[in-house]
Amino acid sequence: MSGKFIKFGNILVILLLLVTIVGIVSAKNTDSENANASEYWKPVEKAMGEKGEVSPDGAIKFTIPMTLNVTLDGIKLNQASERSHDFDFMRAGDKAMMVGEIGVTEEEVNNVSIMILHSGLQATAIHNHLLRTSPHIMWIHIYGYGDPVDMAKKICNITDYVNGGSSASESETFQSKGINTTELDLIIGYKGSAEEGDYNYDIPRVDKVQMNGYTLSPVMDVSTMISFQPLGNGKAAVIGEFVLKENEVEPVVRTLTANGMEVTALHSHMITEQPRLFYVHCWATGDATKLAGIMREALNETNSKIGSESS
């Protein structure tokens, strides 16, 4: 009997060693892939004149703050609160795919649209995200497929025009002002991050979204985004952008409005994605914890990667 136990113990040890080795190899492969991705995107970063954020799957995100000051209901919005142009790239065969959004004033919509079309990029949507912003900001969503450096140069020309050839003076530092971010993470069921003055969530969908024959990285505008801008005494301005399939739109809108959240826009961002996606934008101010509870209730109506809720 003891011999059988020893034999079983030896097998168990071997299995544990194999699992450990596989884990180490997998981690090394991931590190190697990330290093290769970072190297691949360096010329694109140079063309953009900006440092991008490379995701674990090798896609890259560029966030370019607006130089324009924007207020909403007397609140000056942080750079992460709808005051940045965003551009996301992923490798697609021997080329790259890009989706992005450019924030412009009403007076700039026509000129920027013409610049986009003349550059060979596609304008896939033009709309507002929020209401009552001063100045009123519109968003032009764009798509491109081809050489990533060439696309980056074209994007840089457009954002230079919109930003007046300058960049934001400095990045904004997150100050909690009484907001318990650990509690927010527990309620939302996802780990957030502090950036550009806000506490933000980028929550991927569970299902896969495809476009033009490629499965999109979650970075490619297919993750729900929620930002908390601290206002003091535990209060926040919350901005939500829910990425939804057709059957999720009505339940999410109903949940948000029933809880006093202002739904400010409902529209598409892209044209050829499958399944078709719809984007619901919302805005509210108040106790950050209560607002997080409302956002979680709405997330429960979606097929999103969220964990357990706080008790």
CATH number at residue 228: 3.30.1460
Among 127, 162, 197, give the residue marking a domain's end: 162
Helix and strand totals (H; E) in the chain: 6, 18
Query: Where would I find the beta strands (DSSP E) of the chain?
Result: 53-54, 60-65, 71-72, 75-76, 84-92, 95-105, 122-127, 133-134, 137-146, 193-195, 198-204, 210-211, 214-215, 223-232, 235-244, 262-267, 273-274, 278-287
**Is 29 part of a structural domain of the chain?**
no
Q: Are residues 157 and 192 in the same domain?
A: no
Cα 86 to Cα 101: distance, rounded to the nearest angstrom = 5
Total domains, the chain? 2
Cα 155 to Cα 115: distance, rounded to the nearest angstrom = 10
**Is 171 part of a structural domain of the chain?**
no
**Is 272 part of a structural domain of the chain?**
yes
What pLDDT, on the 0 to 100 scale, is given for residue 308? Answer: 58
**Is 307 part of a structural domain of the chain?**
no
**Is 6 part of a structural domain of the chain?**
no
Q: Are residues 281 and 188 in the same domain?
A: yes
Sign of torsion over alpha carbons 90, 96, 99, 103: positive
Q: Are residues 147 and 57 in the same domain?
A: yes
**In terms of residue numbers, what domain contains 146?**
38-162
**Is 49 part of a structural domain of the chain?**
yes
| Edge-to-edge strand ranges of the sheet holding 133-134 | 75-76, 71-72, 133-134
Q: Are residues 295 and 220 in the same domain?
A: yes
Q: Are residues 56 and 153 in the same domain?
A: yes
Q: Are residues 196 and 154 in the same domain?
A: no
Q: Are residues 186 and 158 in the same domain?
A: no
What pLDDT, on the 0 to 100 scale, is given for residue 173? Answer: 85
Q: Are residues 90 and 155 in the same domain?
A: yes
What pLDDT, on the 0 to 100 scale, is given for residue 19? Answer: 39
pLDDT in tens, the chain (311 residues): 455 544 544 554 454 444 344 444 344 444 455 568 899 999 999 999 999 999 999 999 999 999 999 999 999 999 889 999 999 999 999 999 999 999 999 999 999 999 999 999 999 999 999 999 999 999 999 999 999 999 999 999 999 999 987 766 567 888 889 999 999 999 999 999 998 899 999 999 999 999 999 999 999 999 999 999 999 999 999 999 999 999 999 999 999 999 999 999 999 999 999 999 999 999 999 999 999 999 999 999 999 999 855 43
Q: Are residues 218 and 291 in the same domain?
A: yes
What pLDDT, on the 0 to 100 scale, is given for residue 165? Answer: 75
Q: Are residues 131 and 230 in the same domain?
A: no
Q: Are residues 42 and 158 in the same domain?
A: yes
Among 162, 191, 218, give the residue marking a domain's end: 162
> Between β-strands 193-195 and 198-204, what pairing exists: parallel, antiparallel or unpaired?
antiparallel
**Is 53 part of a structural domain of the chain?**
yes
Do 143 and 136 meet the contact criterion of CB atoms below 8 Å apart? no
**Is 169 part of a structural domain of the chain?**
no
Q: Are residues 113 and 202 in the same domain?
A: no
